[in-house]
Amino acid sequence: MPARLGSQEPKHRILLTTPQNMVGIAKSQVLKSQIFRKEVDDLKVYTVKLYTTEQERSLMPGEKKKSLCQICKDASDAHYAETG
């Protein structure tokens, strides 16, 4: 008697979760570069926000605005303090 199709175990299982959520599954190099690029882009957006805030700020007599180098350093320090 031939076996019924519904009773056979499928040869290929469907992956129900995404690879980045599974423990023990390595991330592809493309996914790693996408994650890195997203972090860099977010950091750049944050730095631009700091810069525009600093440029729009009114100054007291004798006070200087932060340089772009100092703003970038502050953004970098804040990022590393947050991410470790």
Q: How far is CA 6 from CA 3, 9, 10, 15, 21, in A?
A: 9, 8, 9, 19, 30
pTM: 0.62
pLDDT tens across 6-16, in order? 555 555 555 55
pLDDT tens across 29-43, in order? 999 999 999 999 999
